[in-house]
Structure 1
């Protein structure tokens, strides 16, 4: 086979490409702009590995026994250019030299071959590079032959083998689809190898072989292509960075064809010193202006031409047709424009035969439909009707309409088409505004995000402020945003100027690229919620930078499993920012991160007041390091949550020293779920008695305390310097003796305690009786008391009902959950509620009240002015009783 002839034929000059058609393969190859395409394997393996690139994937697959490779990918993904590069490489002796014969066919060109023909005729007369004397040798040795079939999806008839009588004789005449099906099925020229390219269509199910999905250009390939397209490296960098910033988040940017279009438009604008487009809509305005100008039509003809293209676009979208016949084109109004359609459409077939027409780009198809809607002078409310009509077929139509409804966006087009229909535009804007406002009052994040995309396309700051009113629920979770969503959200928030809460709750993987896009929004957010999210190190870096530059006062990273290394990065932002609260519960932090935290807390610029380290394994050594910060005058920490941090008594001396150092601003310490024990309590109680200690809240829930701790607590509470107003001792074995000692302290006039939690502390009825005495003593300041999960029954709790009814009792909150209450307590309960002037909430969960109590409870709550809430969950009520409880909005059940 004459490789020189094949090379000459493949690289012969073709027709001039349209701006939408992509750079011609011949131009790509000759100008050395070919970039190896990525395959789907690149998503699961090393993207830089050689095997991930299409050229190598084809070579590897052809060594298979199947000897058949099927390339799939969307329009413009570079399949055609890759196949031509393959053939050129073979003709130059670079690869596939084990195949003496390579036949390259484009199925869309073979569609014009009507009637029947044999394989011999096809090879001799429709390939042009096979000497007649070589044909017998070719047919005798099929293993020496490689067929390259492009555009398989363009085959007019089905390639289903069952739809044809397959042939096996190379001299047998058959239809073109039958010949192709026979070759691919192996009944004709069995043993030949194939490389087939097709869009993902139903025809693929009839093929067997190695499937290779073509991804096209990811970021590195785009960079390489831009560098080859622009002679000037500075211009290449400027164009590429701008594209990545404004368009890089669209899937279409993986298309080499689209990248060529963008490069061509950018180069034209840059050469003219014009501004580059900020949105996809602006890009397509520039493309359409360029194409219309190239036709040299007057205003009326240009408008008529766009109208015809719009009708064709609508027809193709609705009927899911990829092409139209000449008769259909005439029905759309193309009679006088068929010689001009090449700039917008692909034309298949010769003028003397039956031609078909199709769009180069599905995006331009939708854009032309949008423009034609606003050109229409006949249909009131045309835009809304068109959206409804095409809602399941057109992905970008409403985005393009949103952009074109803005004067600045459509002005370049109006200079060529005349003024667009103002009534149509006004109708659309009314619909757009109303629909957006309604959407933003709801809680569907996908609808919110789509609204942001529409606003982004408008590039109208005042419209954003007009639509996003205070009633908009912008605080709902926008977790798992795509890169495209990040760009749209960032545009909207930047227009607004600030955001109360950026809620990214449950974001599966916040990448560096996404965080970079959202960085301006982060700087404008007063609160950032990233709880139950996963952040890359790069994303944490952008977050840290945004914190240092922004207005964020609260950051929630709880359950984000951040880890020490990423926290170290975050600390660079914490050192100098306006952050007051940071929640780091369950972040996989250890003692190793405490040095960085201390450095941040004592930076001199830190304003951090609340630090939540719940369920991080910092241990005693970590807390000891933290206490160095607490003793610094530069540390402003007031609330320290150390719930479940694997602490013991060993670190309590350091904490005690910090509390009474005179420098610590701590007001609240949470030591729940640690092993503090008596020795730890003793150390802390000494600091509580120190005049410089400012602590007001101390929590020891499930902290291995016993009754032996109570003398130390009693001494602290009775101290004149103790400022504690809240103490939680729940789930500790204090017992009767220890609790009675606490009651002695509570009775003292100097005791400032207002909230006391003693749930599941092994309390007895005598303790309840003593608590009642304390509450009615006239000296107690207690406003909140939790004594649930004690089996004292109606008789034990009666002491508390009597106290609540007493005029000296100040209780506002009482928790007697799971204390064995029955209907027998009803009279005392209701009497207490009626008599109390202070009680607001009552916790009665997990008791044994029945339907018999319901009418009286509802009545007493409805009559009470001060009672706000009673919790009756998990009592013994029937469905009928629950419907009665529903009549009172103060009852939770």
Structure 2
């Protein structure tokens, strides 16, 4: 086609304008309302998509100016493929783009379906649309590289593109079947060197095409906003529509479709002009659309009812046969005879290709969603058959994604009543059957642990819009802690609806949400504010999402927030703190969140807030450094600070920051009861500083963990002095994985032997202990002066000679031990008789850790018998000993043994 002919061919209105068909491309192009759709490359940033990101236009132009000869646009219904193709052709005809092509031909596959018999490429170009003068044909055939052929609607093509079923031709004058002609063009044997642009919904035909594939995303939020604001002249109305669309319909995947946006805006405009309420769900939206379409027809109630039932039969056929179009003969069998004489009646609902009274005419639904909706309506409307809902849904499973959702919406009397005024009463038996099925299937689904099944149940509840039904189905017994991570916008809205109906929830589990966007967080914000605990660990939060989370915390009831392993960073954490300063949070977990010294000042401001309720702060594995902790400690001095547990494992701390921490502990303002300093280079001098605060009368610390903190026996003298102080309140002390040695721990034992020593839990795992130390610990445990209830002395190679002293103490009536860890201490079968005797004699021992020793099968009978006989023992861990599979059955007999 030459450029003038292209403009004439495209810039003309075709068919009947209908609400379901979307805004005609010609209208979009003529009125300069085209807003570029997006390709996947647009999703590359933490910020809203802007106009500088790759667009569909850019992707097409780039591909067509390269070496690739075939470009395939793939996108869902109404995503803007047709409009993009026609605009591309118009832009070429106006001389704005694609200057390397001298001729552009535009075809639609649904029109190609109507061609019969045989024809040559020359005939097709000359006669199809009557667009090419004969004298141009030689030029086209001589310079195929300057020719672009555009094919739209590949998914509607009724022939195969499999090259193996065709004898491909290469002669442009040879007459062949239409299917052979198209296959020969697209597989490069005919008009070799020409470029092709093909548009389609996802279809099986794609496997037979090679080329550059461009996925069409449609509208993301910025494009949606621009479109809606361009649709309404009154920006107040535009903003109202956009807000309602985003909070109700905007979460659906198909809201990325420009056609769907046009349809929603059109029905919103109609409803607002009539002073009617806007729809809350997609079911309500399609009820409004169906009513609008029916009211444009001059049919009585009986006629409208019969038309909808005929549409339902057609929808069922298309769904089950997976054919998108129907012939005239099939339409007659569905009951359309009286309606086909009026193209307006049918054209309002269907795409009509050809003369409606011709046998060659084909009919298809404008919209897959409308097809499923009329199927649902006709099922409830039909009183002629007895088919149950479960059987019907099973038949259409995998073919009709929204069918049960529409049935859920239509099953509620408030929602279906407007339709019944036009169509007559629905079949109440079928509605009752649906509700019975829904409650039964929901009960089964919610007992399971499959997130997708749970979400689908929530979708059904959302469509029903019945708060009492939500409370009836989502009982406390099914509110399990399943993770709802990686939600779509649609899932977010339904989950939020359920939480809002319930009023409050114990847990909002969003673990492993790989991309929590601003849109999703905005929709989930009410649910967040109604949740006592929010779990977002191992997730990724966009900056905008953090803003909504902060807002939800400040106005909600959340007491526990887990953001561990979210790579939050200082910038996002600063935003979060705007909500943390005024919330009900008791526990905040920030493990491995990429925080640095810069975040500590913000944390301090949270702790000093008059409304702060924070009791536990886990900020492990963040490079806070000494200066960071010094800033944080300033918050601990505040009378408003209520922090009791502070976990600072692996935060790059040294002795330099212990002064600030010590000063806070004995300031009289600090409520700290527990500090974990694991895997920091505190050193002996750092412990000396801390020990001064432990002796202060205002220090309330009860638990101190110094696991792997670069300590030696030198620090034990300071610890001994602290533990012997009358003011020391420490009940738990973990010094594991430090080279304390014999002399250091013997000093500790002196303090532990005093009746006033408060220590009840002591960790000395891998501390270079000796047999003499074990002997002293044994004496201490059996002395009657020790309060120790938990002792960890594993990974100290003292052998059975050393462990014997501990076991003797366990058997002593004065020993209070409940938990004993003897992992990797060199135990063999020789000690088992002694060990079993100690366990039997003990009145307090509950848990015994014996991992990584050298016990063999020979010791198993005695250990199993001892555990079975013991009333107070709860668990014995025998993992990683030298057992064979021969004794596994015997070990299984005792559920208190782990192996």
What's 1:518 paired with? Answer: 524
Return the offset for 1:266.
1.0
What's 2:495 paired with? Answer: 489
Distance in 1, Cα, partners of 2:189 & 2:816: 95
Distance in 2, Cα, partners of 1:85 & 1:738: 83
What's 1:415 paired with? Answer: 421
8 Å CA contact 2:253, 2:490 repeated in 1: no
Q: Relative to structure 1, is the Cα distance of residues 381 and 764 closer, same or farther in structure 2, using a 3 angstrom cutoff? A: farther
What's 2:14 paired with? Answer: 14
TM-score, structure 2 as length reference = 0.94
Return the offset for 1:338.
3.0
What's 1:25 paired with? Answer: 25
2:790 counterpart of 1:788: no
1:551 to 547, 557, 568: 557
8 Å CA contact 1:20, 1:344 repeated in 2: yes
What's 1:322 paired with? Answer: 324
**Which residues of 2 match residues 99-498 of structure 1 at below 5 A?**
99=101, 101-131=103-133, 142=144, 145-161=147-163, 163-167=165-169, 170-185=172-187, 187-190=189-192, 192-207=194-209, 209-339=211-341, 340-350=345-355, 351-377=357-383, 379-380=385-386, 382-498=388-504
What's 2:758 paired with? Answer: 752
Gaps in structure 2 of 5+ consecutive residues: none
Distance in 2, Cα, partners of 1:769 & 1:815: 16
Q: Which moved more, 1:841-850 or 1:43-52?
A: 43-52
2:774 counterpart of 1:768: yes
What's 1:579 paired with? Answer: 585
Q: Which moved more, 1:249-258 or 1:517-526?
A: 249-258
Paired residue secondary structure (1:38): coil
1:621 to 622, 627, 632: 627
Return the offset for 1:623.
1.9
Distance in 1, Cα, partners of 2:210 & 2:723: 82
Q: Which moved more, 1:91-100 or 1:525-534?
A: 91-100
Return the offset for 1:168.
5.0
Distance in 1, Cα, partners of 2:24 & 2:293: 18
Distance in 1, Cα, partners of 2:52 & 2:650: 49
Q: Relative to structure 1, is the Cα distance of residues 890 and 380 closer, same or farther in structure 2, using a 3 angstrom cutoff? A: farther
8 Å CA contact 1:615, 1:645 repeated in 2: yes
What's 1:640 paired with? Answer: 646
What's 1:692 paired with? Answer: 698
Return the offset for 1:361.
1.0
Q: Which moved more, 1:173-182 or 1:222-231?
A: 173-182
Q: Relative to structure 1, is the Cα distance of residues 624 and 397 closer, same or farther in structure 2, using a 3 angstrom cutoff? A: same
Return the offset for 1:720.
0.9
Q: Which moved more, 1:568-577 or 1:215-224?
A: 215-224
Which string of whole-angstrom CA distances, capped at 9 and with x for unpartnered residues, describes residues 559-615 of structure 1? Answer: 222222222112111111111111112122222221111111112221111111212
Return the offset for 1:182.
4.2
Return the offset for 1:198.
3.3
8 Å CA contact 1:701, 1:731 repeated in 2: yes
Q: Which moved more, 1:329-338 or 1:742-751?
A: 329-338
Paired residue secondary structure (1:507): coil
Which string of whole-angstrom CA distances, capped at 9 and with x for unpartnered residues, describes residues 241-265 of structure 1? Answer: 2222222232322222222211211
2:709 counterpart of 1:707: no
Distance in 1, Cα, partners of 2:544 & 2:13: 47
8 Å CA contact 2:455, 2:495 repeated in 1: yes
Distance in 1, Cα, partners of 2:739 & 2:89: 83
Distance in 1, Cα, partners of 2:114 & 2:165: 20
8 Å CA contact 1:506, 1:533 repeated in 2: yes
What's 1:883 paired with? Answer: 889
Distance in 2, Cα, partners of 1:541 & 1:201: 41
Distance in 2, Cα, partners of 1:484 & 1:645: 40
What's 1:42 paired with? Answer: 42
Q: Relative to structure 1, is the Cα distance of residues 50 and 861 closer, same or farther in structure 2, using a 3 angstrom cutoff? A: closer
Paired residue secondary structure (2:476): coil
Paired residue secondary structure (1:617): coil
8 Å CA contact 2:328, 2:359 repeated in 1: no
What's 1:653 paired with? Answer: 659
Which string of whole-angstrom CA distances, capped at 9 and with x for unpartnered residues, describes residues 528-565 of structure 1? Answer: 11222222222222111111111111111122222222
Distance in 1, Cα, partners of 2:321 & 2:315: 10
8 Å CA contact 1:103, 1:127 repeated in 2: no
Which string of whole-angstrom CA distances, capped at 9 and with x for unpartnered residues, describes residues 749-800 of structure 1? Answer: 2111111111111222222222222222222111111111222233322222
Paired residue secondary structure (1:126): helix
TM-score, structure 1 as length reference = 0.94
Gaps in structure 1 of 5+ consecutive residues: none
Return the offset for 1:164.
4.4
Which string of whole-angstrom CA distances, capped at 9 and with x for unpartnered residues, describes residues 353-408 of structure 1? Answer: 32222211111111122222222335556211111122222211121122222222
Q: Relative to structure 1, is the Cα distance of residues 698 and 326 closer, same or farther in structure 2, using a 3 angstrom cutoff? A: same
2:569 counterpart of 1:563: yes
Distance in 2, Cα, partners of 1:381 & 1:806: 76
Paired residue secondary structure (1:707): coil
8 Å CA contact 1:51, 1:57 repeated in 2: no
Q: Which moved more, 1:312-321 or 1:496-505?
A: 312-321
Which string of whole-angstrom CA distances, capped at 9 and with x for unpartnered residues, describes residues 141-200 of structure 1? Answer: 555554433334434333455544555555543333344444445555555554443334
What's 1:820 paired with? Answer: 826
Return the offset for 1:130.
4.0
Q: Relative to structure 1, is the Cα distance of residues 707 and 411 closer, same or farther in structure 2, using a 3 angstrom cutoff? A: same
8 Å CA contact 1:381, 1:427 repeated in 2: no
8 Å CA contact 1:50, 1:56 repeated in 2: no
Q: Relative to structure 1, is the Cα distance of residues 698 and 333 closer, same or farther in structure 2, using a 3 angstrom cutoff? A: same
Distance in 2, Cα, partners of 1:204 & 1:565: 45
Return the offset for 1:696.
0.8
Distance in 1, Cα, partners of 2:67 & 2:866: 85
Which string of whole-angstrom CA distances, capped at 9 and with x for unpartnered residues, describes residues 655-709 of structure 1? Answer: 2222112111111111221222221222211211111111111111111222222
Paired residue secondary structure (2:533): strand
Q: Relative to structure 1, is the Cα distance of residues 794 and 39 closer, same or farther in structure 2, using a 3 angstrom cutoff? A: closer
What's 1:88 paired with? Answer: 90
Distance in 2, Cα, partners of 1:253 & 1:444: 26
Q: Relative to structure 1, is the Cα distance of residues 58 and 863 closer, same or farther in structure 2, using a 3 angstrom cutoff? A: closer
Paired residues in the alignment total: 893
What's 1:730 paired with? Answer: 736
Paired residue secondary structure (2:660): helix
Q: Relative to structure 1, is the Cα distance of residues 541 and 442 closer, same or farther in structure 2, using a 3 angstrom cutoff? A: same
Q: Relative to structure 1, is the Cα distance of residues 113 and 890 closer, same or farther in structure 2, using a 3 angstrom cutoff? A: closer
What's 1:802 paired with? Answer: 808
Paired residue secondary structure (2:583): coil
Distance in 2, Cα, partners of 1:823 & 1:100: 91
Return the offset for 1:742.
1.4
2:533 counterpart of 1:527: yes
Distance in 2, Cα, partners of 1:325 & 1:670: 75
What's 1:504 paired with? Answer: 510
Q: Relative to structure 1, is the Cα distance of residues 446 and 137 closer, same or farther in structure 2, using a 3 angstrom cutoff? A: closer
Distance in 2, Cα, partners of 1:441 & 1:632: 47
Which string of whole-angstrom CA distances, capped at 9 and with x for unpartnered residues, describes residues 825-848 of structure 1? Answer: 333323323332222222222222
